[in-house]
């Protein structure tokens, strides 16, 4: 077997760098005649799939089923991985770079797609460096950049070929490369080679004494010299301490027959690849598609909400409709109903927007009645949405109504003007003009000014005087009715006309009337306020007598404010004295109530403490202490402090017992880690609070549980080993026994170590005995077929093992068989010679 007559050592290192997740993946397999190394780098950002793992798994699986070093076969491995990646990309697009190296232990063939690099070092010098499929490589081949610039060029990760792309993949496949003893193969992802210079591989190799040192030194050099963000990186080194020599195979001497498990070393925690990665289960794909659709729909809902907040209602409506339809398709009726309510809300808003735009269009076209109708319809829709600010539409409605009101005034003025009632017409026009100016309808106001001028032209002095007298008379009537504001308005209107007519005597009369109005208003207001203040003071007296201090205080305060406003100082001082008496009574009552409150809080705290409601007790005691402290009752506050300290002790002891009980429950179910967690929580509380007796008790529980945990773990490995031994899976049995022994050794469990040593020895001997019997059986077969030389080799191999494990009977039996073979090998001449 080629593998047995060569010595290849594989070492590797991989790291996520400065990122949370490592998207590189590496695996290799060594068979009797061929070996395969695969390294891949994920180029996507999918969270639920690792594209590099899919690629590596597919290639390793294909190789183990049909191992070959032929270029066509290697190319097919990569194409199958490409198909597997496309198959997994139905939901999320997956992409990866890959490098495959296949060896027959005397030469290699490598193939790649992407930018994972291979170096071949011969006599500590780089004799070959693989090309990649980057734009930087194209620029190098075209002479635009030199070799030194390649590793650090900005286009080194801009790929023209990679697994998972839509077009067909045509990987680069090398010719056979002969290997020599002490050669070194280095394979690395761009996270490594993109941050170093190639000569470093040669320099560090010369300084490294062991294969394992070399890969670690390469990594350390990278970490020491990196200046920017460190990406995922993987470095694999293959040392050819001894390559297979073809002449040795032809001699066909001492051929070993053995059954070996195929060692597959994989990244990501030693995960084994044993199954095909070619297609996914249809049901799983459907479920993934459904999950993806739900996620997409949820994102669409969030997008709709954001668009709604931004006022992009049509886009929000489209997003909501897509979300609703998706939920209905997924048969999620409740979610669809919720989205439907949002759709209805947005539809009302959009309908309102439509009417509002129509209203603005009609308003700008001076079609105010139609505008008002549209605005009101818009408001109705906005109100139906239950989620739209109607301030703006209310402004438009009020503005339109005012403009319509102004138009009505103007129309009334037109009728009055036609009836030659110029004064009243002018009044209507003025009212309309004020509204037009308010809403900046300048054209209408300018047109109205002409009408007002026309009224002024037609109005004679007599008519103005008559108008003024009528207005003055109306003012007198309002005065007699004590409607002073209306009276003042009329007097001002009359004064304006009298002033215009230069009738100063009438202006003076009007001024006198207006002054009288002010005096009457002031007198009435003074008397009203005085009566109100006296009534409030009287109410306060009654409430004080009834000990309704709060209400009495309010009434007195209101009365005092009015007296002060009326500048009645004596009356205000009298009420102030009453307020001071209330304040003194209130302070005494408040102190008594607060003391009673503190007593009740203390009792409540005592009751809560008895019920072990520590938080409630602590809260009640703390509130009581705060009251005593505010009232300067130091002794009572000190007593409460003592109660609070006692709470903490009881609370901590209960916490300790709770954790111990929980730990005991977990221990009965052999949940050792959960039990230890609870015991350690209890221990921490005991240590923090100086509970030394409890601390010692818990420490003993932790020690006992820890020992039991490790014995249980070791026992599992031991039982697995026993089962595998019965199934004659000796290597796996020995592995499990050694795992159990390591646990015993790490925890200094002497009896367990001795027991495992015996079982390991027994399993090893049984494995050797089984191998010897295979040799002996094969030899018997060869002997019966007169292949004496082959039979002799197998008998001698069996004899060595029987002697090694001290099986005398088996040793004697095989010795006899060897003698029979030698006897059978003798020729007739040899036998004649023996006679003479």
Asked whether residue 519 is assigned to any structural domain, the reply reads: no
Short-list 112, 100, 102, 120, CA closest to 34: 102
Is residue 328 classed as helix, strand or coil in its secondary structure?
A: helix
Confidence category of residue 265, pLDDT binned at 50, 70, 90:
very low
Pair 37, 59 in one domain: yes
- Residue that terminates a domain, selected from 260, 280, 300: 280
Q: Helix H segments across 546-671? A: 549-565, 569-610, 614-630, 634-668
Question: In this structure, how many other beta carbons lie within 10 angstroms of the beta carbon of residue 796?
Answer: 15
Q: Residue 306 has what pLDDT?
A: 92
Q: Tell me the longest C-alpha to C-alpha distance in the chain.
A: 183
Total domains in the fold of the chain:
6
Asked if residue 259 has pLDDT above 70, the reply is: no
Confidence band (pLDDT; 50, 70, 90) for 835?
low
Burial of residue 452 (CB within 10 Å: 0-12, 13-18, 19+) is buried
In a domain, 622, yes or no: no
Tell me what the mean pLDDT of segment 119-148 comes to: 94
- Over range 754-766, report the average pLDDT: 91
Domain-embedded: residue 270? yes
**Triad 730, 736, 740: Cα angle to 5°:** 140
What 3-state class would DSSP assign to 595?
helix
For helices 504-545 and 484-500, angle between their N-to-C axes, nearest 10 degrees? 160
pLDDT in tens, 653-694: 888 888 888 988 988 888 888 988 998 998 998 898 888 888
Neighbours of 779 (CB within 10 A): 26
Burial of 384 (0-12, 13-18, 19+ CB in 10 A): middle
The answer on 288 and 276 residing in a single domain is no
Provide the CATH number for the domain around residue 115. Answer: 3.60.40.10
- Quote the CA–CA distance of 808 and 798 in Å, as a whole number: 12
State the Cα–Cα distance between residues 104 and 42, nearest whole angstrom.
28
On whether both 287 and 316 belong to a single domain, the answer is: yes
Rounded Cα distance between 68 and 247, Å, is 21
pLDDT at 1 over 80: no
Residues 6+ apart with CB under 8 A from 665: none
287 shares its domain with 276 = no
Model pTM above 0.85: no
Lowest mean pLDDT among 97-106, 332-341, 645-654, 709-718: 645-654
Return d(Cα 390, Cα 404) in angstroms, integer: 21
**Same domain, yes or no: 258 and 133:** yes
* 466 falls within a domain: no
Span 22-40, pLDDT tens digits: 999 999 999 999 999 999 9
Of 254, 280, 306, which closes a domain? 280
Residue 656 in any domain: the answer is no
Tally the residues of the chain.
Answer: 836
**pLDDT higher than threshold 90 for residue 523:** no
Q: Which domain holds residue 699?
A: 672-748
Question: First and final CA of the chain: distance in angstroms?
Answer: 44
DSSP 329-376: HTT-HHHHHHHHHHHHHHHHHHHHHHHHHHHHHHHHTT-HHHHHHHHH
Residues paired with residue 29 on neighbouring β-strands, in sequence order:
36, 264
Q: CB–CB of 718/740 below 8 Å?
A: yes
CA pair distance 341, 319, nearest whole angstrom = 13
Are 92 and 207 found together in one domain? yes
Model confidence over 468-512: pLDDT tens digits?
888 989 988 888 888 888 888 988 988 898 898 888 888 898 899
Whether 55 and 98 have beta carbons less than 8 Å apart is answered as: yes
How many of the other CB atoms lie within 10 Å of CB of 341? 12
Residue 792 forms part of a structural domain: yes
Shared domain check, 681 and 544: no
Same domain, yes or no, for 742 and 787?
Answer: no
Residues 441 and 414 in one domain: yes
Question: Could you tell me the pLDDT band of residue 443, with boundaries at 50, 70 and 90?
Answer: confident
Q: Domain for residue 337, yes or no?
A: yes
Q: What is the pLDDT of residue 105?
A: 97
One domain for residues 63 and 129: yes
Q: Which residues pair with 178 in a beta bridge?
A: 107
The reply to whether 22 falls in a domain is yes
Query: Are residue 189 and residue 265 in the same domain, yes or no?
Result: yes
Average pLDDT of span 363-379: 91
Q: What is the pLDDT of residues 203-246, one digit of tens each?
A: 999 999 888 899 999 999 999 998 888 999 999 999 999 999 87
Among 240, 264, 280, identify where a domain stops.
280
Do residues 242 and 101 both lie within one domain? yes
Residue 261 pLDDT grade (very low, low, confident, very high; cuts 50, 70, 90): very low
**Measured distance CA(556)–CA(561) in Å, rounded:** 9
């Amino acid at each position: 077997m080629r593998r047995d007559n060569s010595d290849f050592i594989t070492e590797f290192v991989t790291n996520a760098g400065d990122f949370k997740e490592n998207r590189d993946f590496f695996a290799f397999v060594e068979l009797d005649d061929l070996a395969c190394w695969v390294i891949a780098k994920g180029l996507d950002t999918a969270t639920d799939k690792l594209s590099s793992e899919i690629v590596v798994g597919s290639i390793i699986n294909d190789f183990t089923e049909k191992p070959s070093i032929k270029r066509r076969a290697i190319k097919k491995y990569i194409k199958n991985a490409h198909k597997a990646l496309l198959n997994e990309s139905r939901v999320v697009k997956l992409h990866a770079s890959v490098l495959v190296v296949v060896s027959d232990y005397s030469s290699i063939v490598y193939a790649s797609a992407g930018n994972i690099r291979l170096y071949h070092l011969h006599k500590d010098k780089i004799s070959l460096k693989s090309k990649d499929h980057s734009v930087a490589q194209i620029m190098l081949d075209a002479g635009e950049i030199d070799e030194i610039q390649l590793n650090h060029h900005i286009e080194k990760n801009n790929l023209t070929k990679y697994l998972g792309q839509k077009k067909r993949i045509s990987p680069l496949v090398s010719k056979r490369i002969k290997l020599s003893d002490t050669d070194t193969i280095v394979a690395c992802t761009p996270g490594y080679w993109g941050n170093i210079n190639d000569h470093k591989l040669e320099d560090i190799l010369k300084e490294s004494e062991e294969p394992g040192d070399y890969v670690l030194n390469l990594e350390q050099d990278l970490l020491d010299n990196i200046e920017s963000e460190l990406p995922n990186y993987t470095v694999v080194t293959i040392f050819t301490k001894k390559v297979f020599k073809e002449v040795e195979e032809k001699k066909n001497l001492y051929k070993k027959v053995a059954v070996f498990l195929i060692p597959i070393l994989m990244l990501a925690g030693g995960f084994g690849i044993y199954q095909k990665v070619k297609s996914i289960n249809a049901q799983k794909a459907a479920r993934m598609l459904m999950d993806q659709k739900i996620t997409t729909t949820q994102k669409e809902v969030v997008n709709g909400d954001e668009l709604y907040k931004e006022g992009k209602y049509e886009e929000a409506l489209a997003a909501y409709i897509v979300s609703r339809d998706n939920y209905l398709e997924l048969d999620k009726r409740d979610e669809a109903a919720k989205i439907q309510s949002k759709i209805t809300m947005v539809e009302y808003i959009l309908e309102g927007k439509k009417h509002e735009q129509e209203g603005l269009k009609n308003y700008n076209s001076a079609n105010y009645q139609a505008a008002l109708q549209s605005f009101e319809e818009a408001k109705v829709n906005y109100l139906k949405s239950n989620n739209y600010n109607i301030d703006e539409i209310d402004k438009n409605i009020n503005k339109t109504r005012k403009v319509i009101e102004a138009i009505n005034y103007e129309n009334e003025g037109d009728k009055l003007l036609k009836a030659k009632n110029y004064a009243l017409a002018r009044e209507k026009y003025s009212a309309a003009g004020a509204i037009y100016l308010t809403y900046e309808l300048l054209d209408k106001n300018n047109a109205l000014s002409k009408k007002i001028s026309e009224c002024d032209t037609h109005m004679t002095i007599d008519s103005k005087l008559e108008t003024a007298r009528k207005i003055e008379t109306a003012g007198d009537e309002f005065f007699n009715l004590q409607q002073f504001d209306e009276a003042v308005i009329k007097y001002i209107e009359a004064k304006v006309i009298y002033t215009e007519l230069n009738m100063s005597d009438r202006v003076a009369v009007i001024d006198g009337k207006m002054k009288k109005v002010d005096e009457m208003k002031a007198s009435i207001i003074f008397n009203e306020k005085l009566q109100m203040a006296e009534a409030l003071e009287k109410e306060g007296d009654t409430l004080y007598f009834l000990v309704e201090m709060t209400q009495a205080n309010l009434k007195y305060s209101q009365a005092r404010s009015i007296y002060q406003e009326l500048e009645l100082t004596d009356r205000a001082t009298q009420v102030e004295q009453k307020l001071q008496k209330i304040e003194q009574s209130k302070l005494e009552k408040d102190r008594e109530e607060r003391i009673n409150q503190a007593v009740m809080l203390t009792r409540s705290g005592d009751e809560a403490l008895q019920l072990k409601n520590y938080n409630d007790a602590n809260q009640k005691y703390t509130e009581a202490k705060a009251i005593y402290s505010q009232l300067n009752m130091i002794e009572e506050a000190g007593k409460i402090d003592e109660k609070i300290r006692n709470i903490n002790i009881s609370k901590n002891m209960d916490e300790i017992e709770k954790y111990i009980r929980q730990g005991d429950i977990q221990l009965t179910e052999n949940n050792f880690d959960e039990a230890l967690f609870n015991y350690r929580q209890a221990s921490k509380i005991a240590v923090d609070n100086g509970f030394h007796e409890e601390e010692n008790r818990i420490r003993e529980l932790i020690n006992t549980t820890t020992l039991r945990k490790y014995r249980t773990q070791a026992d599992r490995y031991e039982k697995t080993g026993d089962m595998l031994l019965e199934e004659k899976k000796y290597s796996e049995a020995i592995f499990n026994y050694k795992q159990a022994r390591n646990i015993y050794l790490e925890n200094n469990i002497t009896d367990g170590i001795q027991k495992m040593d015996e079982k390991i020895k027994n399993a090893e001997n049984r494995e050797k005995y089984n191998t010897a019997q295979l040799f002996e059986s094969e030899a018997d077969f060869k002997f019966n077929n007169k292949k004496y030389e082959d039979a002799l080799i197998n008998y001698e191999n069996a004899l060595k093992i029987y002697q090694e494990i001290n099986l005398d009977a088996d040793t004697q039996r095989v010795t006899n068989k060897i003698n029979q073979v030698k006897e059978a090998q003798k020729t007739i001449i040899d036998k004649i010679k023996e006679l003479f």
